[in-house]
Copies of this chain bind each other. A is one copy, B any other.
Amino acid sequence: MNMNTKLNLSINSERLLKRLHELGRTGLDNDNKRTRLAASDGDKAGRDLLVTWMKEAGLQVEIDKIGNIFGIWYGSENRNEAPLLLGSHIDTVINAGMYDGCYGVLSGLEVINSLKEKGFIPTRPIAVGAFTNEEGVRYQPDMMGSLVYAGGLSADDALKSVGTDGTILGEELERIGYAGSKEPGFLKPHAYIELHVEQGPILDKMNIPVGAVENLQGISWQRITIEGVANHAGTTPTNMRRDAGLAAARVITYLRDQANASNGTTVATVGTIEFKPNAVNVIPSLATFTVDLRDPNEQRLKEEEKALANYLKELAISEEVSITTEQLVRFNPVTFDQTIVEMIEQAASGRGLHSRRMTSGAGHDAQMMARICPTAMIFVPSIDGISHNPKEFTKDTDLVAGANVLLDVVSNLAGN
């Protein structure tokens, strides 16, 4: 067994839960909705609280140019070792829950806090990070802080990003006091581990407390525009119709058929749609909709994209419509570090917790960090899979269990 279970260490569950609720009370708007958009006043309130706790824990606090916050526990003998990095984000969507991101950051802090208090001697620095603008609601792209940190986007370009409210990210970070001086990437992690609520229903429905996240779905977003001919719904015989709305419906049912045929690896969603002219008695001349395709395997994701393109070609002929597509987003799937994933499984098992290997269906900072170091994620159940919503909920016992699994993995990776 690994060291910590031998030492029988556990986190201070009361402190973790208390902090989670306290952070959750920052950024409430006039309607009492929790909204800490990146670099807003609400975000500043959350950041200030986090930095206070990091300092109380005796961590060295560093802010980089994109506003990522790091609290680092340097030991006297380990300054030359690559640090083990834990973390996530504390920015939120509009009217958010209190677990998404915050749980990972505060658990990382709690793990360090507990290890320090219990006299654990780390063989390498252990740090906890809160990445700027993971949600991407106010500034694009999402997962910005970790993307910049991993070298996928320059800090200068990211700081020029114009918000939905017309603000400039760089100016807003200055304003709230989080435009740091460190170069993004200044810490070269030995490994990165992100603990997160699942934001999906699998663990909850299967009653499994721990997900050992082995990969993260690739994401392909397309906007599809189908152009037919607007005609009178009563006077146009069926065989003379060029119905853009019908063609769109055929794409939606096709995508479900493909998802069903994939044995659960591919998921496909049409979440937005618009018809024009959108009148009860006029055949739609235009249908515009989005396709969100995901698969954890790049080869399969490419095959699905190609199959869709072929289907659209056939459909354009059979329905006498013209179809154009535009790629909106494309992320390759990410495979996490198998060694760490196994450690997560072992840690869960060591605590008598069931776990299952799983795929992350959502994007996370971990997918960016995987570019620069061995990375993995730990999931805990989200009741009914609800997230990005005040109803987001994870039971305290699951929160504590997940943080203890993180502690075990950390003490393994940073222990003797």
* A267 within 8 A of partner (CB): yes
Taking CB atoms, residues of chain B closer than 8 Å to A234 are: 200, 217, 219, 267, 292, 294, 360-363
Q: For the complex formed by this chain, how many copies does it contain in all?
A: 2
Q: How far is the CA of A271 from the CA of B241 in the complex (A)?
A: 13
Q: How far is the CA of A294 from the CA of B235 in the complex (A)?
A: 10
Q: Select A272's contact among B248, B253, B260, B278, beta carbons within 8 Å.
A: B278
Q: What's the nearest-Cβ distance from chain B to residue A20, in Å?
A: 21
Flag A259-272 by CB within 8 Å of B: 1 or 0 each: 11000100101111
B292 lies within 8 A of A240 (CB): no
* A306 within 8 A of partner (CB): no
A271 lies within 8 A of B292 (CB): no
Q: What's the nearest-Cβ distance from chain B to residue A147, in Å?
A: 18
Q: How far is the CA of A24 from the CA of B252 in the complex (A)?
A: 44
Q: Select A275's contact among B199, B238, B272, B328, beta carbons within 8 Å.
A: B272
B328 lies within 8 A of A361 (CB): no
* A249 within 8 A of partner (CB): yes
Flag A361-378 by CB within 8 Å of B: 1 or 0 each: 111000000000000000
* A281 within 8 A of partner (CB): yes
* A250 within 8 A of partner (CB): yes
Taking CB atoms, residues of chain B closer than 8 Å to A252 are: 245-246, 249
Q: A249-B252, A253-B246 are in contact. Are A198 and B275 (CB under 8 A)?
A: no
Taking CB atoms, residues of chain B closer than 8 Å to A237 are: 200-202, 264, 267
* A385 within 8 A of partner (CB): yes
Q: Select A271's contact among B239, B281, B388, beta carbons within 8 Å.
A: B281
Q: What's the nearest-Cβ distance from chain B to residue A186, in Å?
A: 31
Determine the residue in chain B with the shortest Cβ distance to A201.
B240
Q: Select A280's contact among B271, B362, B388, beta carbons within 8 Å.
A: B271
A292 lies within 8 A of B267 (CB): no
Q: What's the nearest-Cβ distance from chain B to residue A10, in Å?
A: 29
* A205 within 8 A of partner (CB): yes
Q: Which of A201, A221, A277, A360 has the most chain B CB atoms inside 10 A of its CB?
A: A201
A233 lies within 8 A of B292 (CB): yes
Flag A212-238 by CB within 8 Å of B: 1 or 0 each: 000001010100000000011111111
Name the 6 nearest CB pairs between A and B, nearest first. A200-B235, A234-B361, A235-B361, A249-B252, A233-B269, A249-B249
